[in-house]
Amino acid sequence: MTSETFPYSHKVAGDRLGNEDKRIVLEPNEAELARVAKAYEVDGVETLTADLTLKPWRKAGVRVVGTVDARLKRTCVVTLEPFVEELSEKIDRTFEPVSSRPRRPRDLNDEGEIEIDLETLDPPDVMIDGVLDLGAVVCEQLALVIDPFPRKPGAAFETGVAEAEEEDEPAPSPFAALAQLKDEPKS
């Protein structure tokens, strides 16, 4: 995960956390909010706040837990009216240095069965050179929850009366149209 691919960056030394939890509150400035809005194709980002706690994980890893709250300016895909969407998401991710990754898969156990370590099914993310970009973590979480087709609360597609009447009648079969063409006299 490199900060060049994310519109917001806030780097911390993950390898220097020690044995204590560290609380960090991130609130991007206006220019950073504008970059986030442009990157994720929303009309605007009014606020973006991440309240995170960094916790030591294993020997050299970091666990990031907390919440990301955002107020986004959106345009409803149904009514085309602007509205404000509020998001609140929890974060719980782990990171470890590159060198702590196993180089090869686990061997078979004594009975010849493959043992599956549940932690390897969703392995931790990697810190590069001990640096953890919390801004990138926040951007990833935000990107996962932004609705690509936003609807204003209460907005619904409306159908006309004529469309409702047509639904009551069965649609003509395409084969019936072909049979009708076959039965027509040739000129």
Q: What is the dihedral of CA 39, 40, 46, 52, to 10 degrees?
A: -90
Output the pLDDT for position 1: 45
Q: No. of H helices and E strands in the chain?
A: 5, 7
Range from 21-30, 80-89, 170-179 carrying the lowest mean pLDDT: 170-179
User: What is the sign of the dihedral through the CA atoms of 134, 136, 140 and 146?
Assistant: positive
Residue 87 has pLDDT above 70, yes or no: yes
Output the pLDDT for position 158: 74
Residue 160 has pLDDT above 80, yes or no: no
Range from 4-8, 74-78, 158-162 carrying the lowest mean pLDDT: 158-162
Are residues 152 and 37 in contact, defined by beta-carbon separation less than 8 angstroms? Answer: no
74 C-beta neighbours (distance < 10 Å), count: 18
Structure tokens at 29: 């400035």
Q: Which residue has the higher pLDDT, 119 or 97?
A: 97
pTM value is: 0.70
Q: Which residue has the higher pLDDT, 18 or 51?
A: 51
Summarised one tens digit per residue, pLDDT across range 63-84 is 999 999 999 999 999 999 999 9
- Alpha carbons within 13 angstroms on the beta-carbon side of residue 74 total 21
The domains of the chain are located at 3-160
Are residues 123 and 95 in contact, defined by beta-carbon separation less than 8 angstroms? Answer: no
